[in-house]
Amino acid sequence: MVEQHDDQENIGSNPDPRRPIGELIAERLSRRGLLGGAAALLAARTAGAQDTGNTPNGGPSTLSFPELRHQLAARDAVAEGHESQVVIRWGDPILAEAPDFDPRAQTAEKQARQFGYNCDYLDFHPLPKGSRSSDHGLLVVNHEYTSTSLMFPGIGAGRQARLRVTPDQARIEMAAHGGSVVEVKREGGRWGYVKDSRYNRRITLSTPMRISGPAAGDPRMRTKADPTGTRVLGMLNNCAGGNTPWGTTLTAEENTNFYFGGAAAESGPQAAHYKRYGVVKDSLYTWGRIDPRFDLDQEPNEPNRFGWIVEFDPYDPESVPVKRTALGRFKHEGATYAIGKDGRVAFYSGDDERFEYLYKFVTARPWDPRNPAANRDLLDEGTLYVAQFAAGGTMRWLPLVFGQGPLTAANGFASQADVLIEARRAADLLGATPMDRPEDVETNPATNRVYVMLTNNNRRTAEQVNPANPRARNVHGHVLELIPPGAGSREGADHSATEARWEIFIAGGKPGVDHGAQYHRATSNDGWLSCPDNCAFDSKGRIWISTDGADDAAGVADGLYAADTTGAGRALTRLFYQAPVGAEVCGPRFTPDDTTLFLAIQHPGESGNSTYDRPSTRWPDFQEGMPPRPSVIAIVKKGGGAVG
């Protein structure tokens, strides 16, 4: 999630972030605990871990690409021997009869048939369905939010720009949210999209969706437009996502608090609940002026219908998306799966805000690869867990189940629906560990270890540190490595287990400069990173980490870094790609054969006082009068072969 929304993104932060495991801070940490992340060890390990130079082959790394130099420029850059190709841009027509993009003559009707704004999560589904094709497939893309200042001429910069939008412009913004499904092909060595493909789809705030699971039909999910509490229009602020072993897409609603406002935020019966989720009287967007469902005083339950995981079939443009309430309501960053030894499926997700929590949902039943219909509603039954980290490198997954522990009527929970709608408060009561903005969570298919991107937390004080988040004012973030029982064994990892081990894989910042930075000793002057956000793994089990906020935190452009996770090059991060100024790198996704790496380049030009009329970059078109355009790019190796 972009740092532009920093203040409002965190207004609903945990009211008591040090209470759950504050008593652990004073413990004498064991050696495993030190290896797992004690601040003293972080400092010790980086002492003397200075640059060994930009070696052509990366020293002990198995990644052989020549490393980039850090930059902050109007154009992007990729490692020598590779090229980036723009696949699709904001406004490109994808549905039948959609017009070509004209930013000065845009309408909501046009935008609803064109590629949306600020692309984030990416997924590649091969065509034909069930194949391993790496040259033809469906690209699933989230459209997280809109950068008002860069979308419309003459509107200015900053928060005031959003207050100046006309009703017509607000409707364009609404149509630019949601997601896209686009057929893509590689022909003649170049990637492009298929306009008017029968698979192409736009999901917007007008798309009918079904609500399922324990919260469906609950009184707190009912509105004037939907007295059943089982139907909702659209999805909001979709950041990262995931998929399922049965072939569907999961997309995560994140900062939904931006869109709702009204006096009820402070005086209504749900005021405390709104506050815990960051809903305030004066919303960041002003949509409540034209649509009553964003006005709390008219529809006080509407915010409860957002902040969920949404599932849909990318191969069927007529399929009805489903909000799966069993996975809990919070600022979801991702929903990635791992199959346990018993066939049950675990889905990992972060709650992307300072001092929030890491979650896991485990299905009640195993998935059935021979009977797809049996998996259709698998996500409606199971257990949602929240993570509690301990000194000594151990952790527990605590169940969020109505009637267990403090999750009872005595604490204001009348049902499992209440627990899920107020998942944050339930996790507070269980004593979950407050984290440094848990974002993407991915399982390495080669080792079955799980990696958690913790982007940053500049508000953590020295009194609030804990073993898994050991740095006060953590402006550069870190990456946790979770080790489920059986990870790396022949029998496989038990992702349904309620206990695991953990370590700190890397800690961001510049070695020798930023306190606690932790990498391989051979990391170069350009190989260190700041603000890890998303990640992906290639077929060899190497991690590729994208960043969000490095320009503000470290004065370098956001980029993509790669590292081995095992062997002599473990944690030796190397800079592979850097975005244009103001942009965030999102959604890294490889094709099955590793010959293409797709990236979402979100909010290019969103820096300082950059506006539509005077942008800091005009990437990717670089045409006078054309604003910067969020885009999906494909990175390939010149002459063919695996990326990296």
Write out the DSSP string of 564-584.
Answer: BSSSTTBT--EEEEEPPTT-E
**Residue 6: partners with Cβ closer than 8 Å, 6 or more residues away:** none
Read off the pLDDT of each residue in 459-468 and give the average, rounded to a whole number.
97
User: 10 falls in which pLDDT band (50, 70, 90)?
Assistant: low
Read off the pLDDT of each residue in 354-363 and give the average, rounded to a whole number.
98
Number of Cβ atoms within 10 Å of the Cβ of 162: 22
Per-residue model confidence (pLDDT) at position 59: 77
Cα separations (Å) of 297 from 44, 95, 223, 261, 290?
55, 37, 12, 8, 14
pLDDT in tens, 31-86: 333 333 334 334 333 333 333 334 445 579 999 999 999 999 999 999 999 999 99
Per-residue model confidence (pLDDT) at position 23: 40
Read off the pLDDT of each residue in 449-454 and give the average, rounded to a whole number.
98
Per-residue model confidence (pLDDT) at position 232: 98
| Domain residue limits, the chain | 3-254+307-554+561-637
Backbone angles phi, psi at 321, to 5 degrees: -60, 150
User: 160 falls in which pLDDT band (50, 70, 90)?
Assistant: confident
Under 8 Å between Cβ of 357 and 323: no
CA distance linking residue 164 with residue 149, whole number of Å: 10
Number of Cβ atoms within 10 Å of the Cβ of 446: 15
E strands of 455-591, at which residues?
478-483, 499-507, 532-537, 543-547, 559-563, 574-578, 584-590
Q: Is 352 strand, coil or helix? A: coil
Q: What does DSSP assign to residue 553?
A: H
Residue 6 has pLDDT above 50, yes or no: no
Per-residue model confidence (pLDDT) at position 49: 36
Per-residue model confidence (pLDDT) at position 496: 96
Return the closest-CA partner of residue 108 out of 234, 237, 206.
206
The length of the chain, given as a count of residues: 644
Under 8 Å between Cβ of 419 and 454: no
Residue 571 has pLDDT above 50, yes or no: yes
Q: How much is the pTM?
A: 0.94
User: 17 falls in which pLDDT band (50, 70, 90)?
Assistant: confident
CA distance linking residue 510 with residue 528, whole number of Å: 6
Return the closest-CA partner of residue 347 out of 413, 264, 269, 248.
248
Per-residue model confidence (pLDDT) at position 58: 58
CA distance linking residue 160 with residue 165, whole number of Å: 9
**Residue 259: partners with Cβ closer than 8 Å, 6 or more residues away:** 236, 237, 283, 284, 285, 287, 294, 306
Token digits for 612? 């539509």
Share of the chain above pLDDT 70, in %: 92
Token digits for 422? 């107020």
Residue 317 has pLDDT above 80, yes or no: yes
Read off the pLDDT of each residue in 419-431 and give the average, rounded to a whole number.
98
Which residues are paired to 356 by β-bridges? 435
CA distance linking residue 63 with residue 562, whole number of Å: 8
Task: Give me the long-range contacts of 24-32 (CB less than 8 A, separation at least 24).
Answer: 24/390, 24/391, 24/466, 24/467, 25/463, 25/465, 25/466, 27/391, 29/391, 29/392, 29/467, 30/391, 30/392, 30/393, 32/392, 32/393, 32/501
Residue 490 has pLDDT above 90, yes or no: no
pLDDT in tens, 89-135: 999 999 999 999 999 999 999 999 999 999 999 999 999 999 999 99
Per-residue model confidence (pLDDT) at position 12: 53
CA distance linking residue 586 with residue 115, whole number of Å: 16
User: 9 falls in which pLDDT band (50, 70, 90)?
Assistant: low
Read off the pLDDT of each residue in 536-545 and give the average, rounded to a whole number.
98
Per-residue model confidence (pLDDT) at position 458: 96
Under 8 Å between Cβ of 531 and 635: no
pLDDT, the chain, mean: 92
**CA-only gyration radius of the chain, Å:** 23
More confident residue, 163 or 49: 163
Per-residue model confidence (pLDDT) at position 489: 86
For the chain, how long is the longest CA-to-CA vector?
Answer: 67
Share of the chain above pLDDT 90, in %: 88
Number of Cβ atoms within 10 Å of the Cβ of 461: 10
Which residues are paired to 350 by β-bridges? 333, 358
CA distance linking residue 83 with residue 632, whole number of Å: 14
3-state secondary structure 243-273: ECCCCCEEEEECCHHHHCECCHHHHCCCHHH
CA distance linking residue 334 with residue 243, whole number of Å: 10
Which residues are paired to 466 by β-bridges? 469
Per-residue model confidence (pLDDT) at position 46: 38
Backbone angles phi, psi at 216, to 5 degrees: -60, 130
Per-residue model confidence (pLDDT) at position 35: 35
Give residue 466's Cα distance to chain centre.
24
Strands 559-563 and 201-203 come out as unpaired
User: 22 falls in which pLDDT band (50, 70, 90)?
Assistant: very low
CA distance linking residue 411 with residue 424, whole number of Å: 13
Under 8 Å between Cβ of 507 and 29: no
